[in-house]
Amino acid sequence: MSATRGKIAESIMSANRMYVLIAETCRNEEDEKCLQVDVSDKTELWHHRYGHLSYNGLTTLHNKEMVVGLPDIQPVKATCEACVKGKQHRVAFPKQTKREQLRSFNSFILTCVVQLLHRQTARRDILSVSSMISLGKPGSILP
């Protein structure tokens, strides 16, 4: 961690609109502890570090030497639980007819209007005699 800037890593956009990651190595054990992960398999570790990038993607990064220090990635038989959950099918919302959609929208608008009127009523008492404007006698409710 950089003591002067308080950053672990930073990135700068290069001329070809790519980001270059600038990271400093940890100099003491205290800084290293916050970056430790308990993973027995190096392939799984790099899979997690690269945001659950596919193992084929990690192999491509290694073979094309796009990452300095990336070890040779071995095929993994176990599946990543987070990746499986991310690929699960989600049930779609039930279809509504146009009439049901319009009813829902009208109900939403009516609720918003009622809430707005209630807020205004709470701020000032609309039915108070002193603030009432009438066509009849002052202070009367009906004209």
pTM here?
A: 0.40
**How does pLDDT run across 54-67, given as a tens digit for each residue?**
888 888 988 998 88
Q: What is the domain partition of the chain in residue ranges? A: 37-87
Residue 22 backbone class (left: φ over 0; alpha: ψ -120 to 50; beta: rest): beta
**How does pLDDT run across 106-136, given as a tens digit for each residue?**
889 998 888 888 776 666 555 555 555 556 5
Q: Are strands 9-13 and 19-23 parallel, antiparallel or unpaired?
A: antiparallel
Beta-bridge partner residues of 13: 19
